[in-house]
């Protein structure tokens, strides 16, 4: 995936976060995984906030913890 | 105009100065033809006719002679391509006479080689470096441009000469030249196009020259419906050779032609299952190039071709062999930029392709955009596609 797709990625995740609870859960897991890979930045917290920012934060922390 | 006449007067000295000089001059003139709409065959006649006086000079070294002939041919082709074959009937006829005399400069068939057929672009390149190849292309282009400008009478003797050449075609260079010039030959005299196609590409032609001629045609030109109708039998013959392995390194251009013939519903293309048969034999890289065309048409304007492209993509994402090699199904992603019917593109085309590639894709940005657009309407498909896209992502992030 190109870095140029980041905006589309965030747009899609935002839409999924507004969907059914089971879909929202999938989106949150994706956010966690993307945070772990450094594919989403902390600026995304400004859009999502709350528990979602925890997902991203946890992902990013997991990434930073890697040797 | 006046300086062109001076060039003509100076031509003998320029030819003596060496092939680089005459080539440079031809390039300059060709550039002017491209840029100046007022420049026609009439403007260049003094130069062209003087060049032929030079060619008849017995003292001229053979290499200088062929270089000059190549440059004149190149210039004639530029004039024809730029549709500058205008003038009085006499002036156009004089220009056609230059093309006819150029055909007389062809190398002997025996000297051009009749051995192993050259493939596609290789045949084209080899042919363009011969007087035979350049002269045939220039004469055919000139005939087409003259006929289009209302000078069919000037085109006729050229076509008759080309008929004689085609009837005696034994060298692969000549076959390649005739194949690459075929659309000009066909459009110069439409009623005779099928007869001429049969001579060049039909069963009466030797297998090696027929194959080289058709392959050179296919790699030189995009598919058009008009040519498709004339060449139905030739496509079938070429595909049959492809299926038997007689043409193992056949260029992807054949697949591209057959796919567009199918999408535009050339009579016979679908009933003979051209696309299915081509895919069954093609390598992954070649399938990918053709699948990209299908995807781009599927993403385009609504209509019969778009609908057919989507049907073919649904078939490709379902057949087991499409996944072998890895590239073909990644090309499916180019359908993501569709502006209509995005639901079916995501659910029936892009998502199944992502499932089979493990999320690897050529157009990640397009797929991500499609997902974003469809996330509210198709949350399950969008979430699944996004998961696959992320899992298949091999890029590194900061």
In a domain, B334, yes or no: yes
Q: Rounded to the nearest 5°, which phi and psi values hold at B11?
A: -55, -45
Q: Rounded to the nearest 5°, which phi and psi values hold at B245?
A: 85, 10
Overall size of chain A counted in residues: 67
Q: Does B387 touch chain A (CB under 8 A)?
A: yes
Cα(B145)–Cα(B155) distance, integer angstroms: 9
**CA-CA-CA-CA torsion sign (B210, B287, B219, B121):** negative
Mutate to test the interface with A, among B330, B342, B372 (most CBs of A within 10 A): B372
In a domain, B228, yes or no: no
Cβ-defined contact of A33 to B382 (cutoff 8 Å): no
Q: What is the separation of C-alpha B30 from the centre of its chain, rounded to a whole number of angstroms? A: 21
What is the tally of structural domains in chain B? Answer: 1
In a domain, B57, yes or no: no
Contact B371, B385 (CB under 8 A): yes
Contact B153, B108 (CB under 8 A): no
In a domain, B290, yes or no: yes
The pair of structure tokens assigned to B334 is: 């180019």
What integer pLDDT is reported at residue B31 of this predicted model? Answer: 82
The pair of structure tokens assigned to A66 is: 């890697």
Give, as one character, the DSSP assignment of residue B114.
-
- To the nearest whole Å, the CA of B373 is away from the closest chain A CA by 7
In a domain, B269, yes or no: no
What integer pLDDT is reported at residue B5 of this predicted model? Answer: 64
Q: Which band of pLDDT confidence, cut at 50, 70 and 90, is reported for residue A67?
A: very low
In a domain, B383, yes or no: yes
Contact B118, B126 (CB under 8 A): yes
Q: Which domain holds residue B301?
A: 283-398
Q: Which residue of chain A is at minimal alpha-carbon distance from B395?
A: A1
- To the nearest whole Å, the CA of B252 is away from the closest chain A CA by 27
Whole-number Cα distances in Å, B189 to B21, B96, B153, B184, B199: 37, 15, 11, 9, 15
Q: Which band of pLDDT confidence, cut at 50, 70 and 90, is reported for residue B221?
A: very high
What integer pLDDT is reported at residue A44 of this predicted model? Answer: 56
Chain A residues in contact with B390 by the CB 8 A cut-off are 1, 30, 33-34, 39
Q: What is the pTM (predicted TM-score) of this model?
A: 0.86
Q: Does A49 touch chain B (CB under 8 A)?
A: no
Q: Does A34 touch chain B (CB under 8 A)?
A: yes
pLDDT digits (tens, 9 = 90+) for B120-130: 677 788 888 89
pLDDT digits (tens, 9 = 90+) for B78-135: 999 988 898 899 999 999 999 999 999 898 887 887 666 666 677 788 888 899 999 9
In a domain, B19, yes or no: no
B273-278: average pLDDT: 96
In a domain, B295, yes or no: yes
Q: Which of B383, B389, B393 sits opposite A16 (nearest CB)?
A: B383
């Amino acid at each position: 995936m190109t870095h140029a797709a980041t905006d589309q990625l965030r747009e899609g995740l935002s839409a999924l976060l507004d969907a059914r609870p089971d879909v929202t859960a999938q989106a949150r897991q994706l956010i966690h995984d993307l945070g772990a890979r450094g594919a989403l930045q902390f600026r995304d917290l400004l859009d999502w906030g709350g528990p979602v920012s925890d997902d991203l934060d946890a992902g990013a922390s997991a990434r930073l913890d890697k040797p | 105009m006046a300086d062109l006449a001076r060039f003509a007067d100076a031509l003998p000295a320029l030819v003596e100065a060496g092939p680089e000089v005459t080539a440079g001059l031809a390039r300059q003139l060709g550039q002017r033809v491209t840029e100046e709409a007022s420049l026609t065959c009439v403007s260049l006649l003094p130069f062209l006719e003087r060049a032929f006086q030079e060619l008849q000079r017995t003292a001229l070294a053979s290499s200088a002679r062929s270089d000059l002939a190549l440059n004149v041919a190149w210039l004639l082709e530029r004039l024809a391509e730029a549709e500058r074959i205008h003038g009085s009937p006499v002036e156009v006829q004089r220009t056609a006479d230059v093309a006819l005399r150029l055909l007389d400069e062809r190398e002997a068939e025996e000297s051009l080689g009749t051995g192993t057929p050259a493939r596609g672009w290789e045949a084209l390149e080899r042919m363009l470096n011969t007087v035979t190849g350049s002269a045939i292309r220039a004469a055919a282009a000139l005939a087409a441009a003259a006929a289009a400008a209302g000078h069919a009478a000037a085109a006729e003797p050229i076509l008759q000469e080309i008929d004689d050449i085609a009837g005696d075609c034994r060298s692969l260079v000549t076959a390649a030249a005739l194949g690459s010039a075929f659309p000009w030959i066909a459009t110069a005299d439409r009623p005779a196009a099928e007869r001429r196609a049969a001579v060049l590409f039909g069963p009466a032609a030797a297998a090696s020259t027929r194959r080289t001629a058709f392959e050179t045609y296919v790699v030189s030109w995009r598919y058009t419906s008009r040519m498709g109708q004339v060449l139905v039998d030739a496509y079938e013959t070429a595909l049959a050779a492809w299926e038997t392995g007689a043409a193992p390194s056949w260029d992807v251009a054949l697949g591209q032609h057959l796919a567009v013939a199918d999408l535009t519903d050339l009579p016979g293309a679908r009933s003979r299952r051209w696309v299915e048969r081509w895919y069954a034999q093609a390598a992954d890289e070649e399938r990918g190039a053709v699948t990209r065309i299908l995807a781009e048409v599927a993403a385009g304007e609504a209509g019969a071709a778009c609908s057919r492209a989507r049907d073919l993509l649904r078939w490709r994402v379902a057949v087991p062999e499409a996944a072998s090699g890895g590239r073909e199904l990644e090309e499916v992603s180019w359908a993501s930029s569709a502006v209509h019917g995005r639901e079916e593109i995501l659910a029936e085309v892009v998502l199944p392709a992502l499932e089979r590639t493990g999320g690897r894709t050529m157009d990640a940005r397009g797929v991500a955009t499609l997902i974003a657009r469809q996330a509210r309407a198709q949350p399950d498909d969008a979430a699944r596609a996004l998961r696959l896209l992320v899992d298949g992502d091999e890029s590194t992030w900061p």
